[in-house]
Amino acid sequence: MTTEQLVAQIHKKKSFLCIGLDVDLTKIPKHLLETEDPIFEFNKAIIDATHHLCVAYKPNIAFYEAYGIDGWKSLKKTIDYLNKNHPEIFTIADAKRGDIGNTSSMYAKAFFEDLAFDSVTIAPYMGKDSVEPFLAFPNKHTILLALTSNQGAFDFQTKKLENQELYKQVIETSKTYENSENLMYVVGATKASYFKEIRKIIPNSFLLVPGVGAQGGSLQEVCKYGLSSNIGLLINSSRGIIYASNAKDFAEVAAQKATDLKNEMQEFL
């Protein structure tokens, strides 16, 4: 998917909501556990109830790997369902991968070809040759971890690397990578004041923003400093939407929560 298609979808739906599909079998409604593939059935119900409210879905791959081969099958069914029924929706494999060149190529093949995601999240620690193999895929997007939403972000990311914070160095340096036009960035909503600084370096790049809601970030603040001329934001909510209810009406309640967030977004569009 091209960035233009993503932006067109945002304007059409009046939403830049991304829904995280982080399925934990201990948290989903009990009646689904009797089905053959509870993870997929849960995702399908959430997708059916919310696809008109969001522009992106983001399965966090850890939640699938934790269930081994069965989890991997559920992931494949989920992305296939999305690509078949909602090809206009942007898909994000939240995998946080990154390895030396030839190995990163294998990960890129896994997520862009075998699973056919539009994008994948990548950790920058190993530098240029760990990122460029992902960037080589046309119309696929590489979402680099810049400033994450967790407490551990302060261990290294906000410290100064040769007089500039590491996360800024990551963003600056990544702009020199080949095919850097395929880059997006993860920037946690819990650090809204940093958005202003980040927009000085990358005025137009799309930012995937976790941490609104459950982790305490403010949509208002993020939009104030983070919106760009082409919107440039994907606001992710996972637990706040998909686990809003664990009764039989979970999908409708999820849709209600997604609607609330979407409505909040409208005033910024």
Residue with Cβ nearer a second copy (208 or 231): 208
Contact 172, 166 (CB under 8 A): no
Contact 201, 171 (CB under 8 A): yes
Residue with Cβ nearer a second copy (89 or 170): 170
- Compute the least distance from the CB of residue 7 to a second copy, in Å: 28
Give yes or no for residue 166 binding a second copy (CB under 8 A).
yes
Residue with Cβ nearer a second copy (40 or 63): 63
Q: Which helix (H) or strand (E) holds 95?
A: strand 90-97
Would you give the distance in Å from CA 78 to the centre of its chain? 15
Give yes or no for residue 162 binding a second copy (CB under 8 A).
yes
- Compute the least distance from the CB of residue 114 to a second copy, in Å: 5
> Interacting stretch for a second copy, rule CB under 8 A, among 38-46, 47-55, 94-102, 248-256?
94-102
Going by C-beta distance under 8 Å and a sequence separation of 6 or more, which residues neighbour residue 65?
A: 71, 72
Strand partners, 231: 228
Give yes or no for residue 125 binding a second copy (CB under 8 A).
yes
Catalytic site includes residue 30: no
- Compute the least distance from the CB of residue 120 to a second copy, in Å: 11
Angle between helices 250-266 and 38-50 (to 10 degrees): 40
Which residue type, as a one-letter code, is found at position 165? E
The mark string for 185-204 relative to a second copy (x by CB under 8 A, - otherwise) is: --------------------
Task: For residue 165, give both structure tokens.
Answer: 């914070």
- CA dihedral over 147, 94, 213, 23, signed as positive or negative: negative
Give yes or no for residue 37 binding a second copy (CB under 8 A).
no
Residue with Cβ nearer a second copy (10 or 184): 184
Give yes or no for residue 80 binding a second copy (CB under 8 A).
no
CA distance readout (Å), 220 to 42, 106, 207, 217: 30, 39, 15, 9
Active site residues: 96
Q: Please give the residue ranges that form the binding site for a second copy (CB under 8 A).
A: 22, 24, 60, 62-63, 65-69, 72-73, 76, 94, 96-101, 103-104, 106-107, 109-110, 114-115, 123-131, 145, 148-157, 159-162, 166, 169-170, 173
